Structure 1
């Protein structure tokens, strides 16, 4: 893709799954990648793998729910590579105990907001000033098809993921004239390492039956979309929510 060579970006939540695949793809395209995660050993393994293949990457501990930690990973990106051109905010979680609206404990809702909404807000506050100083950049957020699907079995996760869409559109509208683009990727059913552990074979079978495609998603599918949005090829895309799901959910 055009315009990624020597660009610098953060991948938050890059130790495994979609984040790790995205870090690898960005490095293949010539970008310098700062991988942030609580799972630092796994993040370092991804960075070392990238370096062994000729790419440039470093791993940094990141607690996405901490403003100080978010500021530190941006500082490390500038320290290591001299600038910040894009930030892929890819944190998600907090689904344990998340059931319907009458039975979901408030503490589960609070945890979901912290991971799935607050972390993206704090990433924006940390990254945006640095991007604006250098004439712009790209914020790319990971949401979920759950934000639009209407799940009877889950309330907090879809609520908190929906908030990311409003954040991205706010950033696009407020700072687009200053060179900042903000977009959202909503993955469908992607077979990450975590999905392999938690999803039953029956669930996978049902998922495949529901998608008008020959297979379920791979982390590399989402990585390709994120990489496009970070590149010059994606510079006319702003304020959008993209559903990368094999056609399971169709949106205008």
Structure 2
């Protein structure tokens, strides 16, 4: 894709086996220098080492997306290391069974689960934008991509915290697009459907995956690499006229 070679990106939530990990690999293949950032620092460093072993440029960093000092430090590290920041991909989420299984309907969801999910999946994304946007505005260019979920459109009767946090990203993304667009900084939103990440395989049943395949207008379910390709496109010069938009990447499961 055009305009990615020698640019710099952060993948905020880049552990192996997930969408973030696949995206870090794809961006490096496209010629970007990638800061692979994750709460699991050793996993981020391992993935970065694999990228370097395959000829790409990457470093791994540990960070806590829900902590402003930590996220600000990640942005500062990136700019000090590479001199710029051209792309920010917010994808981190707590999809652990302990959190997701406790995220039930609105009448019963524990408040600690609610606050934790909002902190990670909405406030955390805002913190990244808060500290990355000034860098991009100063240089007059940049692209930010946030990760929503197709579950927002499905509206299942559980996981209210996750749905609320992801829904909030619509307003955050559009605000950022409006704020930065005239000055060369774009912000878009992607909504993956059922994607066969390591965590998805651990938290979904065979029955649910079969139902997802039945609903899709596709012969297969999603792979992390499908989402990675869209992020690479939205970071690229080929997408320079796309701003403030939301894209469902779900094999046509939720046609409207």
**Normalization by structure 2: what TM-score?**
0.96
Cα distance, 1:125 vs. partner? 0.6
CA RMSD of superposed structures (Å): 1.0
CA offsets per residue over residues 45-92 of structure 1, 9 Å max, x none?
110111011100000111000111111111111122110011001112
- 1:68 corresponding residue in structure 2: 69
Could you tell me how far apart the structure 2 residues matched to 1:39 and 1:56 are?
Answer: 20
- 2:179 corresponding residue in structure 1: 174
Could you tell me how far apart the structure 1 residues matched to 2:84 and 2:180 are?
Answer: 18
Does residue 1:37 correspond to 2:42, yes or no? no
Q: Indicate which of 162, 165, 173 corresponds to 1:160.
A: 165
Q: Indicate which of 77, 99, 116 corresponds to 1:111.
A: 116
Cα distance, 1:150 vs. partner? 1.3
Q: Indicate which of 73, 97, 100 corresponds to 2:105.
A: 100
Q: Which runs of 5+ in 2 are unaligned?
A: none
- 1:4 corresponding residue in structure 2: 4
- 1:234 corresponding residue in structure 2: 239
Could you tell me how far apart the structure 1 residues matched to 2:210 and 2:150 are?
Answer: 18
Aligned length: 251
CA offsets per residue over residues 154-187 of structure 1, 9 Å max, x none?
2111111010111010011122101110000100
**Normalization by structure 1: what TM-score?**
0.97
CA offsets per residue over residues 1-22 of structure 1, 9 Å max, x none?
0000000010000012000000
Following superposition of structure 1 onto structure 2, how do residues 13-92 of structure 1 map, counting pairs within 5 Å? 13-16=13-16, 17-92=18-93
Q: Which runs of 5+ in 1 are unaligned?
A: none
- 2:148 corresponding residue in structure 1: 143
DSSP 3-state at the match of 1:95: helix
For the 8 Å contact 1:95–1:112, the answer to whether it is kept is no
Following superposition of structure 1 onto structure 2, how do residues 205-220 of structure 1 map, counting pairs within 5 Å? 205-220=210-225
Could you tell me how far apart the structure 2 residues matched to 1:44 and 1:31 are?
Answer: 17
